[in-house]
Every structure is written in structure tokens, then in C-alpha cells.
Amino acid sequence: MAASPILEVDLLAFERGSAAQQAAVVDGVMRSLGTGFVLTTHDLPPALLDEAYGLLGAFFALAQEAKEPFRVPEACGQTGYTGTLVETAAGESRADWKEMLNWAAPLPAHHPLRRRFPLLYPEQLLPELAVPGITAVLERFHRAIAELQRRFLRVIATGLGVHPDFFDAVVSDAPTLTRAIHYPPMAEAPPGGHVWAAAHADINLITALPRATAPGLQVQVNGEWVDALAPDGQVIINSGLMLEHLSNGRIPSGWHRVVAPEGSSGSRLSVVQFCHPRPSTLLSPLASCITPERPQRYAGVLAADALEDVLYRINLMG
């Protein structure tokens, strides 16, 4: 296994440090995101992480029949429970061996974004009846990670040569999605060569992975798979296809997979958050990323169209 070239940066140094410290953080982020991944310190409350993971563990430990009432098939994976062998990486024939709980920040019923893009803003459903107290905790967890991602996008905006506030309006009221993923023991998987999660790139801007209960995440760097695990106090950030599009390929999307370690007999729980732009955003390469040496590579596409296309290709639209 290759040594990891993924760099560690300090978000707080960008926000509170000197001009030289800020420049060093931006340089480190841009160099590391050349791999599609970077590690950053965070100031998320450890007690909130502990509480959220504890409640999520209790939900996934329920009998299958107790989890079924929280499926929302028409939500296409944007809220509620998704069982095993449903999500399938684009281009793969075998479904992933994982189950998921999905949630987002609710918008008012008559919000214009909900009226225009109902598929991306479904009525939220969390398993409060099965795990009392889980809704309030997971909503706080979602807001905390979303704010961390918004702050980190300021570093990326600076590195791309646009105003630090560029992404603030882009992600305001966006359908950013938090997903808890439980990977059951591989010994329980049906035959057919399933893995926890086949190789894929995320569609969104950036994804935050604050913690996992076991190894298994691998990232692809220079054609090799590298083990990745966020240490305590750090978050893995990976870039998605939408950021690759906006940056005109300057920041590539990070390819990754989740594979049970050899000899592993246990399960794995992780929580990730996909930071999306507002669905009405036109994803067209930034002028600052277009040069004679890097001519415009991508045409503009609506964020909603890009997201719905991926939901279809990974088998979450039916």
C-alpha cells in the first residue's frame, strides 16, 4: 500500500492566523486536493459526535422489521432509511453491502426551492419513534458539519482565486445531505462479490467524513489505493464532481471505496455529509480557472440536473 500524500491542514489557522499562516493553509489545501482529499482540524464538540454515533448505532442495531417503517422510497435516498443491496456505484453491476440513514435540514413547506425541486427537498423522516431523542441530536449534528464545510469552502474559494465568500450564497438553503452508513459484517453478505462500497466519486462540491468506527476507507491516489482514516480531532474532506466542474478540472474529484480489511469480521459505522450547491446553481467553470494553458473543459450544467442524473445512475431513483 502506498504512503499517503494527503496533507493535514489547520482550518483554525486560516481563520485566526497571520497572513502567512493563511497563505500556507490555502497552499496546503490546493496541493492536497490535487489528490481529491485533504485532512483538516475541526472544532466540532466531541460530545456531539459521541452522542450522534451512539444514537445511530442504536438505530442500526434494531431488528430489520423495526427499521422498515422509516423507508421513504419516493425520496430517492434524500431522507429516511435505505436498506442493504440498494445503492449501486455508477457502472457497477453489484450493489453495495451497506445500509443508510439520510437526513437534511428541513425547509418551510412553501419555500420556493421546495416548490421548484420537490425531489431534492422531501419531507424529512428520522426514526424518532424507534430511538427517542435522535431527531434533535442529528439535526444539531447536521448543522455543525454544514457550517464546518461552509467555512472550509472559504479556503477553497481563496485558492481558486475568487472571493472567500463566493460559496456562501451557493450553499445557502442547499440540499446538503448527511448520511450515516452502517456496513454489516462481510460474512453476512450474500454471494456474488459484493463489497461495502465500490469505487466511486461523489457528485457534490465537497464531502466531510468526521469519524468512522473501523478502518475500510481507501482513496485512490496516482492509481493506487491508500488507506484513509480521520484521526481524532480531524475531518477528511474530499472533492466532488461539481467542484471539479467549477474549478475547470483544477481540483479533481476524489475517487474512493470502502473495503472490509482482510480478516475483518466486524461491522463499520461512519457518517458523511455531502455539501451541495443550491439546485438552481449553474455549474460553469470559474473565469479564474480558465487560462490559455487550461482552456474551458466543461459546459455549464444545472446542479439539479447533475444530481438527479447521478441519483438515477446509482439506483436511488427506483
For residue 294, pLDDT beyond 90: yes
pLDDT digits (tens, 9 = 90+) for 115-130: 999 999 999 999 999 9
C-alpha distances out from residue 26 to 9, 12, 75, 210, 233, Å: 9, 12, 37, 20, 20
Q: What pLDDT band is residue 2 in, cutting at 50, 70 and 90?
A: very low
- The verdict on pTM exceeding 0.85 is yes
Nearest-angstrom CA–CA distance, 105 and 311: 19
Number of CB atoms found within 10 A of residue 226's CB:
19
Would you mind telling me the total number of residues written for the chain in this entry?
318
pLDDT digits (tens, 9 = 90+) for 41-92: 999 999 999 999 999 999 999 999 999 999 999 999 999 999 999 999 988 9
For residue 154, pLDDT beyond 90: yes
Tell me the three state secondary structure of residue 263. coil
For 137-151, what is the mean pLDDT?
A: 98
Q: What domains can you pick out in the chain, each with its CATH number?
A: 8-313 (2.60.120.330)
Q: What pLDDT band is residue 40 in, cutting at 50, 70 and 90?
A: very high
- Are the C-beta atoms of residues 56 and 101 closer than 8 Å to each other? yes
pLDDT digits (tens, 9 = 90+) for 181-240: 999 999 999 999 999 999 999 999 999 999 899 999 999 998 899 999 888 899 999 999
Count CA atoms closer than 13 A to 187's CA, side-chain side.
6
Mean of pLDDT over the chain: 95
Number of CB atoms found within 10 A of residue 256's CB:
23
